[in-house]
Amino acid sequence: MQKDTKSSRKSAQHHSDKSAKKSDSGKKTASKRTEKKVEKAGIIPLRERVKSIPENSPESVEKRVVSPTIEKFKTIREGLPYTAIDKLSKRLNTSVKSLLPIFELAQTTYNKKKRDGELMGRRDSETVLYLNELIDYGIEVFDDEEEKFLYWIRKTNLSLGGVTPESLFDSLTGIREVKGCLDRIEYGNMA
């Protein structure tokens, strides 16, 4: 009886060792993917931005390293210029006019705000940022083949309820759902 429990313990230990090895290799892959994204976006990694500033100096408060998430919050709060919609339309290979319903803007209002150099509100700025991140991720999932990704977002998708992914871009929930669909593709599930 004791021999059976010893062999089952050894088997369980062996299985957990295998799981640990798999998770370590998964972490390395995710880390490499993150480094690739950071390099592609031209962002200087946090560990390289850290400077040795004495904690007691007045400069330490001003020059603390800010995380990318905090930088994103600042950008959202300050607002993006309306020209960001132009850039987004170029990335999606579509007209500005087709994107304006996402931001609940009429063409004339958009033109005036863009001409006057106004900034978008928080919701619209956040939507632009999320869409840009989604585009980057989608192109990565499709092995840097932008045309395939752009084709995919315009094609009806059963896992999204039979609608096109781009039809869900009008809300953050929709953008997250499209991201989830891309996650399933990335990890080999049907989407």
pTM here is 0.64
Q: Are 139 and 171 in contact (CB under 8 A)?
A: no
Regarding whether 132 and 84 lie in a shared domain, the answer is: yes
User: 32 lies in which domain range?
Assistant: 1-65
Regarding whether 98 and 115 lie in a shared domain, the answer is: yes
Write the DSSP string, 6-64: HHHHHHHHHHHHHHHHHHHHHHHHHHHHHHHHHHHHTPPPHHHH-----TTSTHHHHT-
Select from 134, 138, 137 the least CA-distant residue to 175: 134
SS3 breakdown of the chain: % helix, strand, coil, rounded to 5? 70, 0, 25
Regarding whether 80 and 167 lie in a shared domain, the answer is: yes
Q: What tens-digit pLDDT sequence spans the chain (191 residues)?
A: 454 444 444 444 444 444 444 444 444 444 455 455 445 444 444 444 444 444 544 444 444 455 678 888 898 899 999 999 999 999 999 999 999 999 999 999 999 999 999 999 999 999 999 999 999 999 999 999 999 999 999 999 998 999 999 999 999 999 999 999 999 999 887 65
Regarding whether 46 and 3 lie in a shared domain, the answer is: yes
Q: What is the per-residue pLDDT across 3-44, written as a single tens digit (0 to 9) for each?
A: 444 444 444 444 444 444 444 444 444 445 545 544 544 444
Q: What backbone phi and psi angles, to 5 degrees, belong to 81?
A: -70, 155
Regarding whether 126 and 39 lie in a shared domain, the answer is: no
Regarding whether 85 and 7 lie in a shared domain, the answer is: no
Regarding whether 126 and 89 lie in a shared domain, the answer is: yes
Tokens (6 digits) for 58: 């007045």
Please count the structural domains in the chain: 2
Regarding whether 38 and 73 lie in a shared domain, the answer is: no
Regarding whether 71 and 40 lie in a shared domain, the answer is: no
Q: What pLDDT, on a 0 to 100 scale, did the predictor assign at position 148?
A: 95
Regarding whether 178 and 86 lie in a shared domain, the answer is: yes
